[in-house]
Chains A and B, each alone.
Chain A
Amino acid sequence: MQHLLSTAELSRADAIDILDTAAQMAATQEREIKKLPTLRGRTVVNLFFEDSTRTRISFETAAKRLSADVINFSAKGSSASKGESLKDTALTLNAMGADAVVVRSAASGAAHQLAHSGWLTGSSFYGSDHPGVAILNAGDGTHQHPTQALLDAYTMRRHLVGPDALGQGLDGLKVAIVGDVLHSRVARSNVWLLKTLGADVTLVAPPTLLPVGAETWPAKLSYDLDATLAAKPDAVMMLRVQRERMGGGSSAFLPSAQEYTRLYGLDRKRLEVLPKHGIVLHPGPMNRGLEISAEAADSPQSVIVEQVANGVAVRMAALYLLLAGKE
């Protein structure tokens, strides 16, 4: 693995390798001293053109726990707000000797562009045998968010397969992904990763929030949450629904928030339909009372807070696997 751009191009062996490494990383995070010397002397740049709190902090924490130096570069307060192009920003980071760039952008394909443009070949100061800069996609438009899908898969494996399930996938598990699939890179990343790991995925959304072409994805489609829950999924992942997609006007995808909540919200009654071992995931930030009720979000079956902790372990694993060895 040289970059982590999309879950569609991850092999099953690579995906399981990341999950297994994350399990060891998670164990180190229960120690009193959480810092490891592994990436000492390496530089990780967080290049965020789009607002993000948890993903940026999670990557920053992961890099620091592995002793890498972290440079945070957000579009606000940088030359990007003065109109500097992605290319010139990349050339600058390259000259500064970055070993990895974590990129978040509103433009689908930004991470792929950085990885394959030849702008980030490693600084000439470091000699010609520099392996080039590793790119980690932290969310690009409505395309992909691979580390989120990996942390979701890690959380599912821990709860549904076993805490020591090293080497195993998610074979035969039933997963429902509910909500705004149209705008969700989390859903796209999950569909392909879960398929690779052997799970059986159903996407549940109103027809207006399913993208054209979703019928070609490796997932079942459903417009009816109650019918999907009646089939007893092992995990239910609720996606965030943005309020600006609601209500009247030609740009709306939904008639009203109330109708969405009634048809697609996870409330106590729907939670009771889940099997006892079933878990509830949400990538955050949540709209309590819209796609998920407070009772569902705070129930013992909810693993939403644990997802955040697992995110650090999974990102440590990705950074370790991309940066520690000789390519």
Chain B
Amino acid sequence: MENIDINQAISLMAAEILAATPQVNDIVILGIPKRGVPLASRLAASLHAKAPGFNPGEAIGQLDITMYRDDLNRQPTRAVGKTETPKIDGKTVILVDDVLASGRTVRAALDALYDLGRPAVVRLAVLVDREVRELPIAADFVAIALPTPDNQRVSVRLVETDGSDDIIISPAAQATSG
């Protein structure tokens, strides 16, 4: 996709998050691997730039959802990733992922999150919302709304994981499972 500046989209999302969350000290940003993790760092950096009271060092983590997926026995065995979070009890946790499609990943993330503690509020921030719904799950903060039919695939590429920032829409062999 041409003419999409991912960093600018993240910056706008950071402003929305700050407007909706008066207590910046309560914010914990958790990236969902793989690409949610670098997005979470960028979002945290952007929040810190706008609100210096927000300290990314103590408020960022990653939440691996592999062992909570609902499709484990339909796929070849997946590698289990790392989960590393600050204390989340009583916090405003913002889950960060690259693409929201069916909502199944977020369902798994909520289960994984509640095994770690009891946040006061959980919000969902995504770079791309495909606006496909299979579960009653919607994003609170969306950087790029990109309604796409089931027969297409949306992949996000990031400098940190893929060498460059890009969003690619292609015909899908099978639907994505974001």
Contact = CB atoms under 8 A, between A and B. Distances in A.
Interface of A: 17, 20-21, 24-25, 27-28, 31, 33, 35-38, 66, 320-321, 324-326
Given A31-B115, A37-B111, A20 B67 contact: no
Contacts of B83: 24, 27-28
Contacts of B78: 324-325
A25 B80 contact: yes
Contacts of B77: 320-321, 324-325
B55 to A, nearest CB: 24
A37 B76 CA distance: 18
13 contacts: A20-B79, A21-B79, A31-B115, A31-B116, A35-B115, A36-B68, A37-B68, A66-B67, A325-B72, A325-B73, A325-B75, A325-B77, A325-B78
A24 B76 contact: no
A52 B62 CA distance: 39
A24 B75 CA distance: 20
Nearest to B108: A37
A20 B79 CA distance: 9
B52 interface: no
Contacts of A21: 79-80
Interface string B70-92: 00111111111111100000000
A24 B81 contact: yes
A260 B36 CA distance: 58
B80 A320 contact: yes
Interface string B103-136: 0000000010001100000000000000000000
B159 to A, nearest CB: 23
Interface in B36-70: 64, 67-68
Contact of B67 (A17, A31, A320): A320
B80 A37 contact: no
A96 B6 CA distance: 54
Given A24-B80, A38-B67, A320-B80, A326 B74 contact: yes
A98 to B, nearest CB: 16
Contact of A27 (B75, B76, B82, B111): B82
Contacts of A17: 79
Contacts of A28: 67, 83
Given A31-B115, A325-B73, A326-B73, A38 B79 contact: no
A25 B115 CA distance: 14
Given A24-B81, A27-B82, A38-B68, A324 B116 contact: no
B67 A37 contact: yes
B115 A36 contact: yes
A24 B64 contact: yes
A21 B79 CA distance: 7
B143 to A, nearest CB: 29
B76 A325 contact: yes
A42 to B, nearest CB: 9
A321 B72 CA distance: 11
A11 B115 CA distance: 34
A326 B75 CA distance: 5
A38 B76 CA distance: 14
A219 to B, nearest CB: 31
A157 B82 CA distance: 18
Contacts of B75: 325-326
Nearest to B115: A33
